[in-house]
Structure 1
Amino acid sequence: MPRNAIHSDKAPAAIGPYSQAVRCGNLVFLSGQIPLSANTGELVLGDIAFQTRRVFENLKAVCEAAGGSLADVARIGIYLTDLGHF
């Protein structure tokens, strides 16, 4: 089954040899996201709520580039470095 890389200019570029997402048949697998600005590629400053919103804005942009939306997402894994933010 062919794999096709997905790219959105509205989300930060993938770091290293990665893609923002990959389509494999009818499924799309999004890469992990950190709170980077799509415009500058810099880490956004702010509290955990602000950074989380930035991550979901990035995910939304990649979903849309793949022809879908966040409403189509089946699973999201979130990793925290400080459980005090939970």
Structure 2
Amino acid sequence: MIATACLIAVCIIAAAALMNLYRLAKGPDVLDRILSLETLTTNTIGLVVVIGIWYGTSLYFEIALLFVAVGFLSTVAFCKYLLRGNVIE
């Protein structure tokens, strides 16, 4: 039962990631592309967590925590770059 639910969740998250990739490529401006990249990071985290549940190991949850940290820092860096023109002052 869990394997079927995880398979359905992986398919749905993969479809959402494909839609985010489309928005990343065709976004009308830079802000839409940054938002799409952040949402793609969230989808990747969800995908890694579901795969961790599917395989029953905790290693994937640690990988998801790394994705959370990198995703947050990259979004902050992109936004700061857009606002001020540089990341490190």
TM-score by length of 2: 0.38
Give the strand-richer structure, 1 or 2.
Answer: 1
Give the helix-richer structure, 1 or 2.
Answer: 2
TM-score by length of 1: 0.39
Structure exhibiting the larger radius of gyration computed from Cα positions: 2
